[in-house]
Every structure is written in structure tokens, then in C-alpha cells.
Structure 1
Amino acid sequence: MRYHTLMEGFPKERKYKGVIAVNNSKTLPKRSEIPAEYKWRLEDIYKSDADWENDVRKVKELAEQIAAKKGTLSQGGQQLLDVLKLQDELLMTLDQVYVYARMRRDEDNTNSTYQALTDRATALSTQVYGAISYIQPEILAIPTEQLEAWINQVPGLDHYRILLDEITRFKPHTLSAEEEAILANVSEIASAPSKIYGMLNNADIKFPMITDENGEEVELTKGRYVQFMECKDRRVRKEAFEALYATYDKHRNTIAASLTSAVKADVFYARTRKYPSALYAALFADNVDISVYDNLIATIREHLPLMHRYIALRKKMLGVDELHMYDLYVPIVPEVEMKIPYQQAVETIKEALRPLGEDYGRVLAEGFAGGWIDVYENQGKTSGAYSWGAYTTHPYVLMNYQDNVNNMFTLAHEMGHALHSYYSNQTQPYTYADYKIFVAEVASTLNEALLMHHLLQTTTDKKQRMYLINYYLEQFRTTVFRQTMFAEFEKTVHAKAEQDEPLTADSLSEIYRELNVAYHGPEMVVDSQIDLEWARVPHFYRNFYVYKYATGFSAATSLAKQILEEGQPAVERYLQFLKSGSSDYPLNLLKKAGVDMTSPQPIREALSVFAEMLTEMEQLAGAN
């Protein structure tokens, strides 16, 4: 199952707000009032709920069958093959069951029928994963030489070579059954820091009232904070900024204790499993060398003068004597009226993605017309946007479309995920159709890059052009520079924990401040409040994850550049990448596509695009 989402807040800071264009009323329509052509067609998964019930029964039967084979994998290659084939059938059917129930619920979360189906599907998933939990430990217990002999001797087992290699790759870091049982039992304790932080950050922490641009008293919330940071009234931005961090400052020692405990848990697991470091352990799952992480930080550091130029430009265009941290999100280009109805967005995206060739265009058109997309907001519908689906059907995209540029880019982004899934599912067997998170954002971001290129090629209005360039520059700032700064913070903090250096609220703030000063440069006033920003970043509890945003964006930008400059050869490499699923490791797949992420070159190529856009923006701003 794939579930690609765009979340509000970190890291994209996209927002979905307003009322859809389906009706002129300010009241959201009911689901039944949305025209059929704007709804996805979940009947392509199951024609009726009764068909879903049939597969629920099938999943239960298959789970019983596979559970009964526990303890047999060491008996021979045929027994191993039988279980692996049964596992594929079980999980493929479970995917379909779960996806259908959840997506039906997402249509209208107030629908009790699909609330119940989703709950049942979730319970069924727990049951299934319990039934197959013995498979990996039993495979790891088989001597490597014996496993290799079976693969060569038993017809059909060779199909699972990549899967088996991936499992056995973890053998040096897998403990005895008794030790693994102990680690499993302490996993809930180890996850406590994240849970505690989540409860504090999402439930207990309360922010004060502030005065908005209309002079009205409003409660500050995390969701409203992003909006306040974009407010044209600088007093509002400053007041929201200071109020937010004053609130976190009251909890600084508690949050420092939770983050430090989470970091120590990462170090504990890495040491216990005999990894050289926590960073090595986190990257091992994707078979990514530490050099990729280090290259990213080193290359961004090398190009920080570009970031400093952008900060200077922002200061100039805002016309302020001092640029503060609360001035980073307010638009530097006056808002431009660019109303883009859904059908116009569809046609624009089709045109923008023409460089990807006829076949990509054919599938894209099929997706837009073939019941893949749930377009508009309705009462009870899940907010935001995502791409999802099961192996056995075409992909799906959930939108809450508003008539603006942001939503057009979101649509292009999600269709990038959808076509990645489509090509992978069409080409790969179920075993290897899913793809790693490391490469997941490449296809979606590449679509955005091509859309931006098309808009800049076809836009003649100077204000619109400046608006688009600023939009693109902000994507680089928040996704490449900012996420790399986060990644460097994580690396530094974990290294200090591994050297048994104490981590406190003060030391964490000191590390974070030094990074902000380095990344933002001399034209930025680094307000003391920002030293505490580490306290409000939930991604730090998902260790060494954020760097993937920056590498994915860089890889996509580099590939888009190759496609526009080379044409067909680059397109063929890219389509092969989309078709590859997890048939190879992420770095190998990207290298075949034309991007070597073990080298700084793709990041440099991406930053060359940033430099071009920045230079043009400087020229346009100077001409004003």
C-alpha cells in the first residue's frame, strides 16, 4: 500500500482553505451534490460492499493457512516458496480490502458505515501481520549457503531472490531470538518520547490570544501560525512569532528531555544491533551510504552564498531596515490574481508534461478522465491531498481543489505519484511493485518542476512571472536549504549523544542558533526566539528522515533539467525508473535514470536552477 500525502505545516507548509468552485454557496456541498465526473470511481476496486466482504473472508482464510505453516521454512526450498507465494496473495488482497474501506471513509468521515469498515480493515491488518510475523525470523535462521542452494534448485524461488537478499542483508544486525524478543518488548518504551511529545505538542500546549490585522482578538494555534507568518501586517507576524516561542519556552526543559531521550533511543538501538552509528542504522534500510547524507550537507554549505543572496533580495523587496525570522514567509511579490479552474489546471498540466512523451501523456489523460481523482471538497471529506491505491487497480488521487496556482501544483504533484505507481504496478510483480520513500518524492516533484518550466515559458505578465519565480524560490528555500539544516541538526545532536556529551535545552538551542546564523547569512537578524524552533519540529522524532525531502527535490530537479535538455534518451531513462518499483535499491535506480546521489553533482545541478531563478528575480526586482 502506498499513501503519499501533503501535510499542512512541516515541511511543505501548503494550505488548503476556502470553498470549492462547484457551487457559489459558502456552505460546503454534501457528497451527493458533487457531480459524478468530479468523483473517483472506487467501484473499480469493488463493485459493491458485498464484494468487499467476500475478500475479507478470503483474507481471514489465507491468514489461517499461512499461520499454519509456521516452523516449516527450514524444511526445504519448496516450503519456503509456498509461504512466500501465499504471503503475496494475502497481502495483495489485504491491500485492496484496506484501501477500499479507508478511501470510502475519506469521502465522508461522518459516514458510520465506512467508519466501521475502516475499523474492521485495521483490525484485520493487525491480525494478518501477526500471522506472518514468523516469516522473516525463520528466513534469517536459514544458513546463507542453504538459502542460495534452494534459490538455484527450486523452480520459481529465484523470483524472490531480491526479497531474500534484502532480508538476509540485515542478518549481521539481527540478534538471537531471545534478544530480539527483549527488544520487541522495550519498543513501546523506546517510542514513549515521541508519544509524550505528541501529546504535549498536539493536546496540552495552549497558545495565547493575539490581535490580528483587523484588530480582533484571536487565539493563536499552530495552524493559524502559518497564516499569521504570511500576513502583510508586520506587527501581526511579530506578535504571533513571539507568542508562539514564548509558549514553547515555558516547556523547553520538558521538550528537551523528550527529544534527548528519543535521540538516546536511536543510539541504543544502533549500538545494540551493531551498527557503527545511529545515522548508519537509519540509512541502512534504504541501502544508502552515509556519503549521500554528508554530500548533501557539504554541497548545500558550499552554496549557502546563494541562500544569503535570496535573503538579501527578500529584505530589499520587503523594504525593511532589518529582516527578522518572522519575515521569512510573507510573500515578497504582491498577490497576483491567477484564478485557475480545475479543467484549466488539467489542460495546463497535460501541456506542461508533454516533454515526458506520448505514453506518459496517454496515461495522464486516462487518469484525468478515468475516475482516478476525487476533485472537490465536500462535507466530511478528508482534508489535504494524497495519492493511494492497491496493486490490483489503477491509482487514485484525493484533492480538495481550489482555483489557484498552489492547487494546480498539488494536482501535478499527486499525479506524479499516481503515474509512478501505475507504471510500477504495470511492470513489476506484486513482490517488487512498491517503491521506497527515498525515491517516492522524485516523480511528484519532477512534475512540479516541468509545470513551473512551462508556466515560465508561457507567462508574459511580469507580475505573474515574479509571483511564479518567488513560488519556486520558496520551494528551494523550504525543501532544500531548510530541510538540510534540519538534517545537519540531527546529525550533530546524534553525534554528541554517541560521544556521551550532555544534551540540554541550552545546548540544543545553541546548536540550532549556530545553524540558523550560518544558513541565513549576514542580512538576517536571527532572533533569539528561533533558537527554540527545534522544540516544534515533530520530524526530529523520526530520525534522519528529513534529508530525503532535500535529496528527492534535488534529484527531481536534475532529472527535469536532463529531460528538457536531452529529450528522448533522458525520457526513456526516467520512464524505466518509474517502472522499476523496488526491483533494485533506490540509489541504483536513480543512477540508471541519470542521477548519482553519491555524487554532489545532482545537488549542484538543482542549485544551478535556483541560481538562475534568483538572478532573474534580482533583475526583475531591480527593474521595478
Structure 2
Amino acid sequence: MSKRLTRSEVSLEQTWDLHELFDSNEAWEKEFAQIEDDIQEVVQYQGRLGEGSSILVACLNAYEKLQMRMVRVSTYGYLRASEDGTNQLYQANLSQVSAIVARVNAAASFIQSELLQLPEGTIKGFLEKEEELDTYRSYLLELQDQMPYQLSQETETVLASLGEVLESPFMIYSRSKSSDMEFDPILNENGEELPVSLSLYETRYEQSSDTDERRLAYASYAKTLNQYKNTFAATYATEVKKQVVMSRLRNYDSVEHMLLQPQQVTKEMYENILDIIQTELAPHMRRYIDLKKRVLGLDKMLLCDLKAPIDPEYNPEVTFEEAATHVLEALEVMGPEYMDAMRTAIEDRWVDYADTVGKRSGAFCSSPYGVHPYILMTWSGKMRSTFTLAHELGHAGHFVFANRYQRIHNTRPSKYFIEAPSTLNEMLLSQSLLAKTKDVRARRSVLVQVLGTYYHNFVTHLLEAEMQRRVYRHAEAGKPITASVLCELKGNVLGDFWGDSVEIDEGARLTWIRQPHYYMGLYPYTYAAGLTASTAVAQTIQKEGQPAAERWLEVLKAGGTKEPLELMKMAGIDMSSPEPIRQAVAYVGSLVDELEASFKSEGQ
């Protein structure tokens, strides 16, 4: 493997085109400065929101325009820093973004405070009187739900002005992880030196069929994580303490209660996902891992072996172009309007997939209002990346429609729903690929990828969510959070799920450092919630075809105008019941059954 390339050394086709956001850094700086001057367009309404519905409409419209501009400015800064965290200009720009977001939030904090202090029935009266306020109905009604937890206007303003400071744990984590961490290279069987990076470990080495290479990379990865564990523990502890303090200041029952409230999710819905999947999925996943250990002839199963290909001789290379073709063919059932967005995303450089120095690890889709989505990922050349592409295109498709049919304040649904559109695309891809072949090994390859999706959402992220639950309860009990505590908690979470099937070594205990999701509130469990819903929707589309797909498009177009339970009910799924969760887990069991049968047919 050659050395990692810089941004300037890869072809433009492998990178995203940010010109629709800003033509240049100079244009970005000009707009940034102008926003500073235009904050007054919103502040002029401070102290006046109770004067009448027309004043409230004018204020909210002014704030909406400012938000649309802020989204473009902040997205540009974030995407530039994500593509190259070593670039000092991009780091400085991102710091500026954090600062201006905090200033805008502080300046506009009076809106929420004043509205919550209006006499009971005032907002309802405004809604009845002013037709133009109807677009803000969901926001205004949700705001009333927050009334019991609202602090004084002065306190809310102070907290908003400290936004940059309060978000600093994630900034420190992201910057250190992307630009400061260095990993020892490893040697292959020919004595050639191979580089190791966060992106390479996650997209190449974890999925390597070479056990020595995979475990050497894991050792390099764990060694560097260990060197940073105390710094990252202090950073994460600060984030957790912030959440504990904020929940108590606002008189929530717990941190979980505070973080679930804006998601419009009950504690029961949250705990159903965590408890049912962990309890009922573990036996299926242990069967899968025991099968992998036996087939591969491994002496033991380490965490780094979990993603190793179970049929290493059948692991064909896949180019980005080939993957795009597979994905587009799978999504044809969604109809022409959806497909137009998908083809445009591929052809017009919405996707940044090059592996370059300083690039953020993992994958994400950013969807700035008024432009179009942008996808970041690192291409591995394997089928797993095909599923990642389908996943991120699912996010992109979601917000193409939400942004097209809703105003900015109505585009984003609850986090509980957010992973359903992305994982649905993965399910449709798997259905398409399986329908094309009866070849045992080809089907097995697809089954492994689908199980990879469930592993990602039902295991990796769900166990992150379980880790969060334990960390928050640990902190709320007044116990200290240190590197050794976090390693112990992570080891226990992994051990409880995997039992004797996986050896939980020190490298595994360090993996709490790996994911940024711990800094994003109760986000990890929503991956499992979304995949539970998309499993059911995909099966419905497989049975009904176009009618079910059309219902799903209406769900996407609704954006954030409905609560997550309502959105899922539009698609025919009742997530207030544990039944869809159990059905999704049972489906995973059926995948393992077919995989086991495929090896028995070959006498293995």
C-alpha cells in the first residue's frame, strides 16, 4: 500500500464540490462578517413578542433567514475541517464558526424565554389569529412542553453565550482525534511497511482477511488509543458532567430524561430498544461469531476479528462506480423523483470518498438547507463501502425531500427517526443483490454485509448506548469518571453481550475512545430504532412494491412536522409496541440460520 495522499494529490471526482456553498474562503469570510452585522435584524424584536401575533411572525421570519445563512456558513466550516483536520486555516475557521453560533444563539435566546413567559393561552390565541404562524405550529407547541424546565431569561442568555465553551469537549475530542493521533506502521508478510490511520483501520484493516495484518493493525491502533486515554477520559468526563449539571439545573429526573424530551421519545421506548435487542440478539450474534471462529480456524476471537470476512477467498474488489450502479439499481422501486436525487448525488460530486491525510474517520451526510447534501466517507474498495454509500445516500435523499417540501424550521425530525431512511436504503440494496443470484457464495457475501449493518446498528451503536446509560448513572451517583473507570465499564458492556464468544482484551476496553457519538447526546440508540423501523418498511416494500414506496416518500417529505411515532405510523410501523423490535431481531436470526446452512452445504 502506498502512502496516504493529500487533498491536492487525488482526483477531483473523488472529492466533494463545495462551490454551491461558497466559491472561496474569501466569500465565506465576507458572509461570516455580514452575519455578525445582521444579528440585529432579530434582536430588534427583543422584549416585544407579547405585543401581538404580527410581531411574533416578523421575529420568527427574521430568525429563519438568519438561520438559513448560518447553516451555509457553519456547514462550509465543518466540511472543510472534516476533509482535512491538519489544515490550520480550516481549524481556525471552525473555531470562528463555533464562536458565531454561540453569539447568534445567545442573541436569539430571548425568543424562547419570552414565549415561555407569556400568559397561558397567548400562543394558542396567536396561532388562531395569524395564519402565517401556522408554519411554526410544531415549534411553538413543542416549546410549551419545555416550559417546566425553562430557566430565567437572564440565565438562558448566559448559557447560550457560553455555547462555544459548553461544546468544547466535542471540539477537543474531534481535533485531537483527527490531527494529533499518530499510529505506528505495520509490516506485511513481505516485510513492506503499511501505514495505519483511523480511517484505514476502520475501512481496511478491521475487514482484512489476513489475520496477522488485522491483529497487528489492532495492536497499533490500541497502542495509540492507550497513549491518549487519560486526555480523552478527561474530555469525556467534562461532557458528562455538563449534561448532569444541566439536567439538575432544569429539574429533569435524569440526564436521559433531559435528552429524550426533545426527541419526543418516552423512557419506555428508549429502554425497549436497549433491553430487548441486547437480551434477544446476543444469542444470534454469538452463534454468528462462533461460526466465524470455526470457519476461519481462529485460536480465539478478539474484537478486531469480528468484522473479518467469513469467506475470505470470496471478497471481490468493488470500485466506487460499480457500487453506485448496484445502489441505483436497488433504489429504482422508490420512483423517478427519488432516483433523480440519487443520480445527481453521484454525478455532481456530492460524495467525498478519497482517503487523504487529515480526513475525518467514519462517514456522515451533512444537509445544508437551500443547497444539497454532502457525504463524507473513505472508500475501502470492498462491498462494505457499497452499503455505507447506500446508507449515506439514504440520509441525503431524506433531506433532499424534507428541505424541498418544508421550511427550514420544519425539516429535521426526531433523532429517533433519523436513521430509518438511511438503513432502509441498505435493506433495499440487500434485497436487490439477493434477488439477482442463487449462487451460494454470492448470497453468502450479501448476507454477511446485511449482518454487518445489523452489527453496526444493533451491536456497535447499541452497546455505545448501553455504555452511555451506565456512564450517566455512574456520574449521577457522584462517582468519578476516569480512564480506568471508562475502560472497566466498556469491558463490562462488551462482556455482558458477547459472553465467552469474544475475548475482551485491553484494546477492546479502550474502544470508548473510538466513536464521537458519546458527545452527541442520546444518539447511538437511535441507530437501532431506525433500523428496527426500516427492517419492517423494507419487508413491506418487498411485498407491496410501489404503493409502499410512495408512502415512504410522503414520510420523507413530512420532514419534522410530525413526532417520530406519527412518522413511523405513516409507514405502517407502530414503534410504541415492542413487537417490531422482536421481529427485527428474529430477522437477524434468520440471516444467521441461512449463513450457517450455506457452510453446512459445503461440509464445513
Q: TM-score range by the shorter chain?
A: 0.7 to 0.9
Name 1:479's counterpart in structure 2.
457
- C-alpha change, 1:93 and 1:193, in structure 2 (3 Å) is closer
1:144 corresponds to: 120
Question: Aligned pair 1:80/2:56, yes or no?
Answer: yes
Contact 1:385 1:398 in 2 (8 A): yes
Structure-to-structure mapping, 1:177-576, within 5 angstroms:
177-180=153-156, 183=159, 211-215=187-191, 222-223=198-199, 225-226=201-202, 227-242=204-219, 244-245=221-222, 259-300=236-277, 301-336=279-314, 338-365=316-343, 367-368=345-346, 371=348, 373=350, 377=354, 386-397=364-375, 404-501=382-479, 508-527=486-505, 529-576=507-554
1:609: which partner in 2?
Answer: 587
Mean Cα deviation higher: 281-290 or 521-530: 521-530
The 10-residue stretch of structure 1 (279-288 or 436-445) with the greater mean CA deviation from structure 2: 436-445
C-alpha contact (below 8 Å) 2:214/2:305 kept by paired residues: yes
Match of 1:327, as an amino acid?
D
Q: Aligned pair in 2 of structure 1 residues 159, 359: CA closer, same or farther (>3 Å)? A: closer
Distance 1:283 1:340 in 2: 40
Q: Summarize the Cα distance change of 1:39–1:538 in structure 2 as closer, same or farther, 3 Å threshold.
A: closer
CA distance in 1, matches of 2:465, 2:86: 39
- Select between 437-446 and 529-538 the one with higher mean Cα deviation: 529-538
- In 2 relative to 1, CA 508–61 (structure 1 residues): closer, same or farther, beyond 3 Å? closer
Instruction: Give the alignment of 1:90-169 within 5 angstroms.
Output: 90-96=66-72, 128-169=104-145
8 Å CA contact 1:306–1:611 kept in 2: the answer is yes
Which shows bigger deviation, 566-575 or 219-228?
219-228
**Aligned partners of 2:197, 2:431: CA distance in 1, in Å?**
36
Q: 1:409 to 1:53 in 2, by over 3 A?
A: same
Higher radius of gyration, 1 or 2: 1
Of 500-509 and 118-127, deviating more is 118-127
CA contact (8 A) 2:102 2:161 kept: no
* SS in structure 2 of the partner of residue 439 of structure 1: helix
8 Å contact kept, 2:342–2:397: yes
Q: CA RMSD in A?
A: 4.3
* Counterparts of 2:324 and 2:133, CA distance in 1: 44
Q: 3-state SS of the aligned residue for 1:525? A: coil
Name which of structure 1's ranges 114-123 and 199-208 shifts more when overlaid on structure 2. Answer: 114-123
Shift of 1:487: 1.5
Deviations 1:60-116 (A, max 9, x none): 675332222222212222211111122222323443566578779999999999999
CA apart distance, 1:263 = 3.0
Q: TM-score, normalised by structure 1?
A: 0.81
Which runs of 5 or more residues in structure 2 are unaligned?
none
Q: CA shift at 1:335, angstroms? A: 4.4
Cα deviation per residue 1:447-496 (whole Å; 9 max; x = unaligned)?
Answer: 11101111111134433332222222122123212222221222123223
The answer to whether the 8 A contact 2:127-2:137 is kept is yes
Residue 620 of structure 1 is matched in structure 2 by 598
> 1:172 maps to what in 2?
148
Equivalences for residues 7-18 of structure 1 within 5 A: none
Give the drift of 1:376.
Answer: 6.8
Of 138-147 and 384-393, the range deviating more from structure 2: 384-393
Q: Percent identity?
A: 32
The answer as to whether partners of 2:49 and 2:55 remain within 8 angstroms in 1 is yes
CA distance in 2, matches of 1:358, 1:405: 26
Q: Distance in 1 between matches of 2:584 and 2:498?
A: 19
TM-score relative to the length of structure 2: 0.83
Residues 214 and 304, structure 2, Cα contact 8 Å, conserved in 1: yes
Q: In the TM superposition, what is the alpha-carbon distance from 1:344 to its structure 2 partner?
A: 4.1
Q: Which moved more, 1:578-587 or 1:145-154?
A: 145-154
- 8 Å CA contact 1:307, 1:519 repeated in 2: no
2: CA distance, partners of 1:262 / 1:75? 39
- In 2, the alpha carbon distance for the partners of 1:513 and 1:482 equals 13
Counterpart CA distance in 2 for 1:568 and 1:411 is 23
| 8 A Cα contact 2:273 2:529, kept in partner | yes
Q: Name the CA distance, whole Å, in 2 between partners of 1:156 and 1:51.
A: 33
Query: Structure 1's 61 and 178: CA in aligned 2 closer, same or farther, altered over 3 A?
Result: closer
Point out where structure 1 has 5 or more consecutive residues left out of the alignment.
1-16, 21-25
What letter is aligned with 1:427? Answer: Y
Equivalent AA in structure 2 for residue 71 of structure 1? G
Shift of 1:338: 3.6
Q: Which has the higher contact order (CA 8 A, sep 6+)?
A: 1
Structure 2: distance between partners of 1:65 and 1:27: 42
Q: What SS does the corresponding residue of 1:544 show, helix, strand or coil?
A: coil
> What is the rounded CA distance, in whole Å, between the counterparts of 2:443 and 2:25 in structure 1?
49
TM-aligned CA deviation for residue 605 of structure 1: 2.6
Q: Which moved more, 1:422-431 or 1:204-213?
A: 204-213
- Shift of the 158–185 alpha-carbon distance from structure 1 to 2, 3 Å rule, reads closer
Q: Which moved more, 1:469-478 or 1:401-410?
A: 401-410
Please identify, of 373-382 and 206-215, the stretch whose mean Cα deviation from structure 2 is larger.
Answer: 373-382
Moved more, 84-93 or 394-403: 394-403
* Greater CA drift, 500-509 or 469-478: 500-509
SS in structure 1 of the partner of residue 558 of structure 2 = coil
Asked if structure 2 preserves the Cα contact closer than 8 Å seen for 1:372 and 1:394, the reply is: no
